[in-house]
Amino acid sequence: MPRVAQLYFRTAIIFLIVGISMGLNMVISQDHSAIGAHAHANLLGWVTMAIFGGYHALNPAKAERRIAMIQYFVYTTGVALMVPALYLMLTGNPSMEPVVAVASLITFAGVLLFAVIIFSSGTVETRPTAVAR
Ligand code: HEM
């Protein structure tokens, strides 16, 4: 598996652990105010990152390009800033709003970079490479 795909899956599982922990905390405390942070950790973190990683695993030639690693760092920085800032904002720290705004824009920049990767030409494989026995 290409390095960027491996990195994406490792980062994604961390966000799933964080996202589910927030969900369990909401259930136990019966306080659902962090619902937005929980949903974004799971969807921008676990789900979207796993899709990005899966795309790179299916397109190893594209995964080796420099833009793939740049996109990983931009997107991951955005989500890693956004989730805790959103959590703090929703649980009573309105001063975190500008951080959430900036982090959202960084995350969106990461999504646009991924669009560039998807639309760039390159060998597109539809099946994973066969494993040698
Ligand atoms: C053990 C795992 C999980 C627990 C305990 C949990 C718990 C919760 C709780 C308590 C809420 C608030 C419900 C409400 O106030 O109406 C919620 C909402 C939500 N969760 Fe989870 N969750 C889990 C996993 C996930 C996963 C894996 C995803 C996505 C991949 C996810 C996505 C969402 C979304 C999108 C909402 C918002 C739903 C809405 O606003 O209608 N959750 N979750």
pLDDT at residue 11, rounded to an integer: 98
pTM above threshold 0.85:
yes
Residues 41-88 pLDDT 10s: 999 999 999 999 999 999 999 999 999 999 999 999 999 999 999 999
Instruction: Please give the mean pLDDT across all residues of the chain.
Output: 94
Examine the pLDDT at 121 and tell me if it is beyond 90. no
pLDDT of 13 above 70: yes
- What local confidence, expressed as pLDDT, does residue 122 receive? 76
Spatial CA neighbour of 15 closest among 78, 100, 68? 78
High-pLDDT (> 70) share of the chain, %: 92
C-alpha 16 to ligand 1 mean position (Å): 11
Residues with CB under 6 A from ligand 1: 20, 23-24, 26-27, 32, 35, 38-39, 42-43, 46-47
Rounded mean pLDDT of 93-109?
A: 98
Q: Is residue 22 scored above 80 in pLDDT?
A: yes
Question: If you measure from the C-alpha of residue 10 to the centroid of ligand 1, how many angstroms do you get, rounded to a whole number?
Answer: 21
Atom 7 in ligand 1: residue holding the nearest Cα: 23
**For residue 104, what pLDDT is reported?**
98
Judge whether residue 124 has pLDDT over 60.
no
